[in-house]
């Protein structure tokens, strides 16, 4: 099986490649990445064909997709705050980029396309847990662009018979997720701050809840979906119904690091939802054998990775 991962030099993509290299049925891996948010160093030591460029480049996609069997489309401009600062860039990268990927997959003979959407599409809809059939209520340009992503997948399945599977990711974290950029996610940002003795910034009162999903669990699901060629045009929550408050998360980080955090509360961020928790019934029906990594274990392995990075030791990813 020959697989192309767009955004493969990023956090989730590079972890997925490491998982796929252990699968005997996977014979070739290719990456498409413009390195705007990914880092080619994440691919060090991995046997992959690298195609540097933007997923909006149709000729590049045709070259990368030639002879492939499946696409995992992870390339995106992530982050709600980033989309608030530049909504047009988020739209082009996430919505138009997905459209170009689907067109290239169709030109290549109807490749299986698995793509990342986001729990942010639920937005202001207050219902918990979040079921895939709830009415989306996106609160940011990023969320709108991800809703367009999954809508395009469904449309291409129904219009052209393209085999697709859109996943709604929920706060993915784990080893390899860096804190050294302006749009870092909360877990690496807080771990980095606690280990360095810097204050931890909490937007709001910290009672907001999230359904954190370890990257190893995400990679298990994506790998199973590829190998079994799971197809469903409906979006699928890729999370398991956990609900962890930011204050509880910080306690887990304190326990894993053995250090007390210096907390600084600021105003809530525009575009952030208050609570997020997945209904995992559809996921469980499609992937009944996947077992999620618990938050305590996942936080500990993530702290270990950050410690190794700080010390310059080889780190597990």
Helices (H) and strands (E) in the chain, counts: 11, 13
Q: What pLDDT is recorded for position 315?
A: 55
The arithmetic mean of pLDDT across residues 210-215, rounded, is 97
Q: Which of 20-24, 79-83, 276-280 has the lowest mean pLDDT?
A: 79-83
Dmax over Cα atoms in the chain, in whole Å? Answer: 55
pLDDT in tens, 251-266: 999 999 999 999 999 9
Does 41 have pLDDT greater than 60?
Answer: yes
CB 221 within 8 A of CB 237: no
Q: What pLDDT is recorded for position 134?
A: 97
On the CB side of 212, how many CA atoms lie within 13 Å of its CA? 24
Does 313 have pLDDT greater than 80?
Answer: no
Which parts of 154-252 are beta strand (E)?
A: 164-169, 172-173, 200-203, 209-210, 213-214, 236-238, 244-245
Complete domains list, the chain, with CATH: 2-172+212-238 (3.40.50.720), 173-210+242-278+293-311 (3.90.25.10)
Residue at token pair 């689907």? 102
Q: What pLDDT is recorded for position 311?
A: 82
Q: What pLDDT is recorded for position 312?
A: 76
Does 317 have pLDDT greater than 90?
Answer: no
Alpha carbons 260 and 47: distance in angstroms, whole number: 41
Write the DSSP assignment of 6-17 as a string of letters.
ETTTSHHHHHHH
pLDDT in tens, 162-205: 999 999 999 999 999 998 877 789 999 999 999 999 999 999 99
DSSP 3-state of 88 = helix
Close Cβ partners of 253 (under 8 Å, ≥ 6 residues apart): 187, 190, 191, 194, 261, 299, 303
Within 10 angstroms of residue 30's Cβ, the number of other Cβ atoms is: 22
DSSP 3-state of 36 = coil
Task: List phi, psi (to 5°) of 259.
Answer: -130, 150
Q: What pLDDT is recorded for position 314?
A: 56
Does 233 have pLDDT greater than 60?
Answer: yes
- Could you give the percent of the chain with pLDDT greater than 70? 98
The arithmetic mean of pLDDT across residues 67-88, rounded, is 96
DSSP 3-state of 236 = strand
Does 316 have pLDDT greater than 70?
Answer: no
Alpha carbons 303 and 145: distance in angstroms, whole number: 32
Peptide bond into 129 cis (omega under 30): yes
On the CB side of 55, how many CA atoms lie within 13 Å of its CA? 34
Does 294 have pLDDT greater than 60?
Answer: yes
| Closest among 108, 310, 149, 301 to 235, alpha carbons compared | 149
pLDDT in tens, 121-168: 999 999 999 999 999 999 999 999 999 999 999 999 999 999 999 999
Alpha carbons 20 and 141: distance in angstroms, whole number: 32
- Could you give the percent of the chain with pLDDT greater than 90? 92
Alpha carbons 14 and 185: distance in angstroms, whole number: 17
């Amino acid at each position: 099986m020959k697989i192309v991962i767009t955004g493969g030099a990023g956090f989730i993509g590079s972890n997925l490649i490491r998982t796929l290299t252990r699968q005997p049925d996977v014979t070739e891996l290719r990456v498409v990445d413009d390195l705007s948010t990914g880092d080619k160093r994440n691919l060090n030591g991995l046997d992959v064909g690298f195609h540097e460029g933007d997923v909006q480049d149709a000729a590049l996609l045709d070259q990368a997709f030639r002879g492939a069997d499946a696409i995992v489309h992870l390339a995106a401009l992530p982050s709600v705050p980033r989309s608030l600062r530049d909504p047009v860039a988020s739209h082009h990268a996430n919505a138009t980029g997905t459209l170009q990927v689907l067109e290239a997959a169709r030109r290549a003979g109807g490749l299986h396309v698995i793509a990342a959407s986001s729990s942010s599409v639920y937005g202001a809809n207050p219902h918990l847990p979040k079921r895939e059939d709830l009415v989306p209520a996106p609160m940011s340009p990023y969320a709108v662009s991800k809703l367009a992503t999954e809508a395009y997948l469904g449309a291409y399945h129904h219009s052209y018979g393209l085999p697709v599977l859109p996943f709604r990711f929920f706060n993915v974290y784990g080893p390899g997720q860096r804190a050294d950029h302006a749009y870092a996610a909360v877990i690496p940002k807080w771990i980095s701050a606690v280990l360095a003795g810097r204050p931890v910034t909490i937007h709001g009162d910290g009672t907001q809840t999230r359904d954190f999903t370890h990257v190893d669990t995400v990679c298990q699901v994506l790998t199973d979906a590829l190998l079994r060629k799971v197809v469903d045009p409906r979006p699928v929550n890729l999370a398991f119904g956990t609900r962890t408050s930011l204050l509880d998360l910080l306690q887990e980080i304190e326990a894993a690091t053995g250090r007390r955090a210096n907390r600084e509360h600021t105003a809530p961020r525009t575009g952030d939802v208050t609570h997020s928790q997945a209904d995992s019934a559809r996921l469980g029906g499609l992937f009944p054998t996947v077992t999620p990594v618990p938050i305590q274990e996942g936080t500990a392995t993530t702290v270990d990775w950050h410690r190794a990075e700080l010390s310059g030791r080889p780190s597990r990813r």
